[in-house]
Amino acid sequence: MNKETPEQQPADKQQKLGPLNVHEIMGLLPHRYPFLLIDRLEDIVPGESATGLKNVTINEPFFQGHFPAQAVMPGVLIVEAMAQSAAALVMYTLGEEAHGKVVYFMSVDDARFRKPVVPGDTLKIHVTRIQNRRSVWKFQGEAKVEGVLVANASFSAMIMGY
């Protein structure tokens, strides 16, 4: 049996997996309504990358105050959706080793917001591992709507027991 972790395997041995539906994501993350900000995880390459999807609807509770006359998804929630996509990837990658652990956000760097995200948009959030050392993982994230970059950031998180 191969004991290499996915990030130690050569690229030709890594395979794309998924997609994971919202119920499978809830099995990996503690987030729930109204703070679960990804509906699906696809194009999964364990230990490396994944794409999260968020269907943005007018029914989102944050639209009541941001902004009532011109609904715009808050940029901080787009970054949170990136972080949740990365956290789901990490927990999926760790498998049984993740039992009893949670991913905690540590830092956000170089966040850029390029276009407003509005009801009716589908965010495609691509996250790529930059590095990981022990329990700390660093990612680069990009959020796109219809192929157009709307936001990007790099961020790190720590896996800890609860």
Q: Would you give the DSSP letter of residue 105? A: E
What are the Cα distances from residue 125, in Å, to 8, 51, 100?
Answer: 24, 5, 26
Give the C-alpha separation, 97 to 93, whole Å: 9
Strand order in the sheet with 101-113: 40-45, 49-55, 122-133, 136-145, 148-161, 101-113
Residue 120: how many CB atoms within 10 A of its CB? 11
Bridge partners of 153, per DSSP, are 141
Residue 126 appears among annotated catalytic residues: no
Among the listed residues 105, 97, 92, 93, the one whose alpha carbon sits nearest the alpha carbon of residue 28: 92
Single out the catalytic residue among 31, 66, 99, 126: 66
Give me the amino acid identity at 27: G
Active site (catalytic) residues: 66
